[in-house]
Amino acid sequence: MTPHIVSTKIYVLVLAALLALTALTVAASFYDLGGGRLHYANAVTALTIAVSKATLVVLYFMHVRYSSHLTWVFVGAGVFWLLVLIGLTLSDVLTRGWLPSPGPWSS
Amino acid sequence: MPETHSEPHLQHHFVALEQQQEASTLGMWAFLITEIMFFGGLFTLFTAYVSAYSEAFAEGSRHLDLVLGAVNTVVLIGSSFTMAMAVRSAQLGKRKALLGFLALTTLLGCAFLGIKGIEYAHKFKQRLLPGPAFRVDSPASQHVQLFFSFYFAMTGLHALHMVVGVGLMTWLLFHGWRGRFTPTYFWPVELSGLYWHFVDIVWIFLFPVLYLVARHS
């Protein structure tokens, strides 16, 4: 397997996309996207953009798109365990107020 | 000896250069995964606290300089691009281009650290460094202080990774200048690139989480 050499054109396109997404996420932060009702609308928007940017960096700048399946398994395992870490922790923290007992969490 | 290899960079325990390169990439990714879990723990904690003290964290976030944060994001994305181009130059055996892109990456990395330093100095002056001198006019000042503990811990650890990255770049510049990297031996550049891009990704998440998200929660 000889290393894949990515063309300059693709690198420039990825750079342009990353800069455009940065401008988009800054612009979006000035608006209340949930209209005062949807509490998490701004957070979801900003994180969706961040995940898109990270995916572009991993696939093209870090060459994962052109790497072996074993590399994909390694990267996927990292992301999976990160989601377990965040998901299981938040499934506890964010649901503590759902049931009346055993009282408030914060002092 | 069973056979002698003509390739000077091939270690004796690998069959071929391709296998050796594959092994080093996987090794680097294994290291980066431990780094993902390391920073991931801080992001998890931050999310848990931002859901508990959303008002105080939004107030803390409004003290941050959005313009400097955004400029630093652009600087770091630019440095990732020059790093990717440095790897490409090494793969093609273009020594001059490699040195140029490595120098640009180092320069942008230092610019990022400089801007971060200006931000830190502002925060110190405004008495926003957690500790006995911390002062914020707010009923929730204790929880605003917690936000700044996260801010300094997360951006500080990220800056420390940037310092290591700049060190790596200097090391690459030295060996690149001596002409050590060739189209068959560019792996040190590639692996340092993986590290640099990882540090960029951490900032890609730090910027919205600290500077943007907390504003509206």
Domain with B87, as residue range(s), is: 54-215
Q: Lowest mean pLDDT of A14-18, A85-89, A101-105, B46-50, name the range.
A: A101-105
Q: Which residues of B52-77 are buried (b: 16+ CB within 10 A; e: fewer)?
A: bbeebbbbbbeebebeebbebbebbb
Shortest CB distance from A71 goes to which of B26, B209, B217?
B26
**CA-CA distance, A25 to A22, in Å (whole number)?**
5
The one-letter code for the residue type at B204 is I
CB contact under 8 A, A15 and B78: yes
Residue B200: inside a domain: yes
Instruction: Please give the pLDDT value at position B18.
Output: 85
Polymer length of chain A: 107
The vertex-B125 CA angle with B117 and B52, nearest 5°, equals: 85
Distant-in-sequence, close-in-space partners of B169: CB < 8 Å, separation ≥ 6: B102, B105, B106, B109, B192, B196
What percent of chain B is predicted at pLDDT more than 70?
96
Q: What is the mean pLDDT of residues A98-105?
A: 68
A1 reaches B (C-beta below 8 A): yes
CB contact under 8 A, B215 and A29: yes
| Domains of chain A, residue spans | 1-66, 68-107
Instruction: Please give the pLDDT value at position A94.
Output: 84
**CA-CA distance, B188 to B167, in Å (whole number)?**
13
Instruction: Please give the pLDDT value at position B188.
Output: 94
ipTM for the whole complex: 0.90
Closest C-alpha among B36, B113, B110, B212 to residue A62:
B36
Closest A-chain CA to B26? A71
pLDDT grade for A41, boundaries at 50, 70 and 90: confident
The one-letter code for the residue type at A58 is V
Residue B193: inside a domain: yes
Instruction: Please give the pLDDT value at position B196.
Output: 98
Closest C-alpha among B129, B123, B102, B108 to residue B190:
B102
Cβ neighbours of A26 in B, within 8 Å: 66, 70, 212
pLDDT-flagged residues of chain B (< 50): 1-2
The count of domains in chain B is 1
Shortest CA gap B106–chain A (Å): 17
Cβ–Cβ under 8 Å, residues B165 and B202? no
CB contact under 8 A, B204 and A50: yes
CATH number of the structural domain spanning residue B114: 1.20.120.80
A21 pLDDT more than 50: yes
Instruction: Please give the pLDDT value at position B168.
Output: 97
pLDDT in tens, B131-163: 998 999 888 899 999 999 999 999 999 999 999
Cβ–Cβ under 8 Å, residues B29 and A74? yes
- Judged on CB neighbours under 10 Å (0-12, 13-18, 19+), A33 is middle
Residue B93: inside a domain: yes
Q: What is the mean pLDDT of residues A16-41?
A: 86
Token pair 């990297």: residue: B181
A77 reaches B (C-beta below 8 A): yes
Residue B39: inside a domain: no
Shortest CA gap B50–chain A (Å): 11
Shortest CB distance from B92 goes to which of A5, A63, A67?
A5
Q: How far apart are the first and last CA of chain B?
A: 67
